[in-house]
Structure 1
């Protein structure tokens, strides 16, 4: 049995980046990792641009100006202004080359074709210079950037329509257990509804991993071996829930050995999720997650998520961690390191009720996991703890 830090390091050490590069339209590239730098082909803005509604002027040594025209956004006329002349201008409109300031309309009084300006005017005030945001030939986005909505907006403003990204991993989620019944069916005595597979595929979808398959397997050695072998053959990452322990009807470990999956580690000194398996076969990563749903989801965020991020080329793999004070006292149960479902509020973090590895309900209210070091007994109110921020919360 190994500690959490070692397990995390081993997962990343034995994971590999998918090198296949695909080209997507920018609107379809959300949450993909950029595989090649994007270079701007234009200055942005591409012309001197007004930052205000007001008047563009060619400065004179007096405060009264003659208004000789109007420029609105989208106009392409570059009016020639003499000293002492002005044009009415609107936000986003191109500023004439001969203008050297834009005066906001609140500082102007107008009388027919004349305006009077109140106060001193600085050179180039309220003018966005050409290329202020980015210049032609500069790198707009660097390789390794995870594409977000704001990036798509920025690229669109530069006229970019397609980008090269790393292909996301293909993922198989395998659930095992004779007692599992699909939601919607009637339960017989001793049966429970299958939730792990539904949960994990939903979380994967939420995180942008659309290419996942859900495979259900009964507790049978040959069936388990065949399902695992086919999943490994057809996917980049295989996630198994349940069946990784050493009970008479836990066939996953035996099947993995039979199909020659290399065991990197099995069992981690943590709660929940002690019976965690991680292995490799060629370039395929295989996780054996605990069958209890809260344990399975905790292990997913701590171990599977970083591997998925690395596999798609992301430079940042782990979920964000912060140090934050406890809102109230908490008595720790057990001596292993623990990942506790928690809620971050304005004044700190609160450990939620329902921490059993079999209970998933608290995850719905959680936006973080608090990591409690091993051999801790009591966490005091106001004491700083390490919190791992959950995504999409």
Structure 2
């Protein structure tokens, strides 16, 4: 049995970036990382552009100008202005080549076909120059940039419709257990509704990992081998829930051994989630998570999350850890470090009742995990404690 820091270090060491690329429509590429630099096919803006509503001027020494026309956003005509002439112009419209300033409308007095400025204009005033954001052939966004909504909008404004991005891993979730049935069926005595696969699926979806396949296998050694072999051969990451302990009908460990999966660790000194397995076969990473739902989800956020970020070649691998003042008390049983379901709120954290590894009700209310290390036996109100912020 290894420590939590050792287990985290091992996952970081043996998780490797997927380094495969795929082409995505820009509007569907949110959350992906660019696989290669994107160069701009155009200047942005593609013409000298008015920064506001007002009047485009061909400057002269007088404050009075003759008004000779109008240019709206989207107009393609180019009025030719002589010194002392102006055209009405609107935000985003193309500034005529013969104009050298734009005066905002609030500083102009208009009378029929003439305008008078309240103050003298200056060269290039309120004109966005050609290529101010980016010029044709320049790098618009570098490889590795995360495509946020702003990045998506920026690329679309350059007329770019497709980008090469780092491929996200394809993932298998394998649930085991004779006692599990699908929600919607009659609940026969001795059966329970299966929830772990949908819980983990939802966690993956919330992190924008959508290529996920669900497998269900009964407590049967041969079928467990067959199912795991299929998943391992087809996927980049395999998450197994249940069957990893040492009971008579826990076949996952034996099946992984039979399939020659390289074990990097099995069992972590922690609560919940002690019977956690992590290993690899070829380039496929395998986590065998505990069957108890709260334990499985805790292990997902502490360990699987790291592997997912590493697969995506991201720099920040772990969920944020911060310090907060406890507004509740808790007595820890045993000597194992513990992850406690909690609610964090602006510098304070409340440790909730119902910390049993089989219970999801408390987890459903949580937005954080409190980390109580081995040396801590009791948490009192006012204590400063470590908090892991969960994705929302």
Q: Same fold (TM over 0.5)?
A: yes
Aligned to 1:387: 387
Aligned to 2:325: 326
Aligned to 1:136: 136
Residue 28 (1) aligns with residue 28 (2): yes
> Is contact 1:324–1:349 with CA below 8 Å preserved after alignment?
no
State the distance in 2 between where 1:379 and 1:125 align.
Answer: 62
> Is contact 2:328–2:350 with CA below 8 Å preserved after alignment?
no
> Is contact 2:326–2:384 with CA below 8 Å preserved after alignment?
no
Alignment of 1:287-366 (within 5 A): 287-319=287-319, 321-326=320-325, 328-334=327-333, 335-346=335-346, 348-366=348-366
> Is contact 2:330–2:351 with CA below 8 Å preserved after alignment?
no
Residue 101 (1) aligns with residue 101 (2): yes
Aligned to 1:208: 208
How far off is 1:382 after superposition? 5.7
> Is contact 1:329–1:378 with CA below 8 Å preserved after alignment?
no
How far off is 1:183 after superposition? 0.6
Match of 2:299, SS state, is helix
Alignment of 1:79-94 (within 5 A): 79-94=79-94
State the distance in 2 between where 1:328 and 1:288 align.
Answer: 35
Aligned to 2:126: 126
Question: Post-superposition, which runs of at least 4 consecutive aligned residues in structure 1 deviate over 6 A?
Answer: none
How far off is 1:120 after superposition? 5.1
Residue 14 (1) aligns with residue 18 (2): no
> Is contact 1:325–1:381 with CA below 8 Å preserved after alignment?
no
Aligned to 2:154: 154
State the distance in 2 between where 1:120 and 1:355 align.
Answer: 72
How large is the RMSD of aligned CA atoms in angstroms? 2.2
How far off is 1:96 after superposition? 2.1
How far off is 1:264 after superposition? 0.1
Does the C-alpha gap of structure 1 residues 10 and 133 become closer, same or farther in structure 2, counting only changes over 3 Å? same
How far off is 1:333 after superposition? 1.9
> Is contact 1:69–1:87 with CA below 8 Å preserved after alignment?
yes
Does the C-alpha gap of structure 1 residues 388 and 139 become closer, same or farther in structure 2, counting only changes over 3 Å? farther
Match of 1:270, SS state, is coil
State the distance in 1 between where 2:59 and 2:200 align.
Answer: 65
Unaligned 5+ runs, structure 1 = none
Does the C-alpha gap of structure 1 residues 372 and 123 become closer, same or farther in structure 2, counting only changes over 3 Å? farther
Mean alpha-carbon deviation: is it higher for 7-16 or for 333-342?
333-342
> Paired residues, what number?
391
Aligned to 2:261: 261
Aligned to 1:195: 195
State the distance in 1 between where 2:378 and 2:93 align.
Answer: 63
Match of 2:239, SS state, is strand
How far off is 1:324 after superposition? 4.4
Aligned to 2:276: 276
Does the C-alpha gap of structure 1 residues 126 and 239 become closer, same or farther in structure 2, counting only changes over 3 Å? same
Does the C-alpha gap of structure 1 residues 352 and 144 become closer, same or farther in structure 2, counting only changes over 3 Å? farther
Aligned to 1:73: 73
Q: Please list the CA deviations of residues 290-325 of structure 1 after superposition, one character each: whole Å capped at 9, or x if unmatched.
A: 111111112112211221222233343333x15243
> Is contact 2:326–2:385 with CA below 8 Å preserved after alignment?
no
Match of 1:249, SS state, is coil
State the distance in 1 between where 2:337 and 2:109 align.
Answer: 70
Alignment of 1:244-259 (within 5 A): 244-259=244-259
> Is contact 2:327–2:348 with CA below 8 Å preserved after alignment?
no
How far off is 1:287 after superposition? 0.3
How far off is 1:216 after superposition? 1.1
> Is contact 1:279–1:287 with CA below 8 Å preserved after alignment?
yes
How far off is 1:225 after superposition? 1.8
State the distance in 2 between where 1:381 and 1:115 align.
Answer: 70
State the distance in 1 between where 2:239 and 2:34 align.
Answer: 25
